[in-house]
Structure 1
């Protein structure tokens, strides 16, 4: 594995130079603004309605090709003309544009962003146009993203258009259920959305429900589009039961002659699938059929390192939730380490501390999933195996662990901008093999082992006052535990109580300050990995008391049940996991859509109710 090192001295020099340049620029802007406000050296007045704005031709020309062409071409404006009348914009808009020309600053709000963007586009002020687009991107919501995407398309703001489109696809379920804009989509646009590989739906049943919701808004005018919309679905991914009972018999489909050929074709397709106990054994079956092609996942689940029976592994695996399959990354490997921590910060994956069978690490390595390269950053002060690690406020926190001799109560914080670790207040107890999570701006750490006793204690850290506070102990001592926060509740899952590996769960209610039992996992496990993907808790690998395991299960909070998922390719415990969304090269981390496993109605994959 090849590492690249950052040059801190060069970064420091560059940062100082940029700070000086910014100070000089700000000083120039202040002088120019003062000259204009005093009316000094002004050579033109911009008039809008009854208001006039004394200004300097050269300043406006520098910020806008439109004004430059106006002031330098006598065919447009007489060079001696002192007053320019503008009809295209309001006085407030031109005031903001003039301020931007002098200071490169503008107060953008929800009230003025549309008019400013239109004016910036008209006058070809690229910087202001970009800032308006950034502001609109920051304001995206389920209620407005479709309108913003359309607005961006009108003014050829391609980057904003793509951002709004991605937001729509990512949050499709919430949008189709709550947005008025969705109900007014043109049929062609809805077809493109439903047909897209990037549509973020957990099942085709949800996409079908979205179609029905759209048609319900105007059944008389829209039922005629049902055949075209159905053809955009991955119909081979429906269960035979759902297709027959919910799709074929739906009132918009049942007597719709345009839908009949597609219904017949799909029924034959599904019957052919049902004839085989193992769909993968289909001889000449076209598994690349668009009917069976899963959509692209919006989040990629990564698994790093861990202990594979007798030794650590360096194999990275990624999980495709849409095809329920794991893939070993052929283009990237980590180093060999287990009992480490993993965090995601600014799109980079940090692997913290750990153990390779011989050495206890204080080193921290960083994986860039887009460039697929490894970087090495500043090491921690302490070696930390069995470490607990989280991200809070743009910093990495590493807590507890073992250096091979001592179980630690110390904790450190990493500042990415300075590439530096610093100690924070130590915890109340020594903790290795504990686990940590974030809730309401505090770090909670639970369980672990102090070298003598397996702990049921828990405490939280408040960064603002650099203080740890003990909370109500868990119901059960747990080492090799995993904790996470899901919908404002802390889940403490699995672990080892000193006698057996556990499949039990506890949930902490911050308001009542109490722990209560939760639904048990199917498999007892300690030192496993846990992550949230698609609003679902995934538990992966671990040790069950007898052997290292590869099994994976997930928790559906709506049904309060655990369900099985595809096994890891490599049996491993003491592994770590993380989720990244929006990767531009996501396709390199999932199986080819022409070679994904086929699932039929007999597969035990649970689909949430639509």
Structure 2
């Protein structure tokens, strides 16, 4: 016959032990907190708490003397913990609630901590929400997290309008932003406004925290117009290349089905410049017309400027300097002592490169590091009108001319190995194509003077022609993300022609697989100031 259990026995035992404590009978431990003393039984403390078990199981001062001191903990809090050990009961008040939870957690009284959290979860108010955030952040209690999420789903707008967030510590503010996750565009816009408001409340102390706060924003939920009106031109963002790159990387992600393919206006077309007017122009692929975007940087020679758009950001190179335009003003990223000269500007991954007749300057976006790779096969410094393009990990410099003749040279600069090598010369005249080469699906294409498309066969190591295009006098090209090539030139230098790249597909042939998403490093380069 199975033994029967008395349901009243556990309660009766607790009551008996509590009575012994209250009457100070058989007590062998004295607990001192603040100026209060409490009597207790060692075996009861050990049975209830891993904290006391560890204390009394070792050769500690407390184990020898029977006196346990908590000088930094108020007596009322220690008393509450001891009473819970002996009775399983606790009184609840929002006063000192954080200290109560801290003590119960220290004493490993997990059931008491859960009771406090349960009490808090139904008592979150506008006045105590900051304290609740601290508790939830430190103790990771799911019940309190859920209550805070419900609270902010209903009250986030009011919380921001009442400026309650301005007093939040950084860690608590970050925790709040992490709770407001995947709630849709309205909440994501409120998060952004809250971040900017919080930082600008004390720029001296909080500006450095903006990077971490910025990373909590999910740009996939933000409307295109909101990004253009409130984020791109926000000074905290526009002065940081890293942030501008992140915005473009996120919202230009071709895998995203939630947003238009190209949500930033200045990334939806071709970027060019006219030195005589000192202006940068954009050709909108949507409106099919040119418009003035901004003026060129002031105080620089306009003779050898080149401009490109990379990841939604505009860069200008002068042969000895690199500038970036953040939507408001120009900023100098790099400058050398050389006198400048003909150059081409190109973006590749997280780098912007300035290719001159002597070397390739590699500037790492974000870190500000730069390095120089010599084009050692070129001895004539008056090399100009060459064309430049990139694939996943290589830069190609092709054609051009010098003071003596048109060149048919072609060079490959591998950004993984940091080596420059000469590849097969072009069999036809690529001469002064002025930048009209492009990389697509790991293949390098170029144009001759008659606008014939040629490609470099990396198996046969030769250049082969494919077809001719209608547009003449090509002065530039851009591979758009919709796999279309946009050429611009013509007799008036304003004509634009779109070519579907798939129609330029070369004949099938064996080739080595191309590397995807190469994480290039500047660690092996020789850095320059």
Structure 1 length as normaliser, TM-score?
0.34
Larger RCO, structure (CA 8 Å, separation 6 or more): 1
* Structure of greater Rg: 2
Structure 2 length as normaliser, TM-score?
0.39
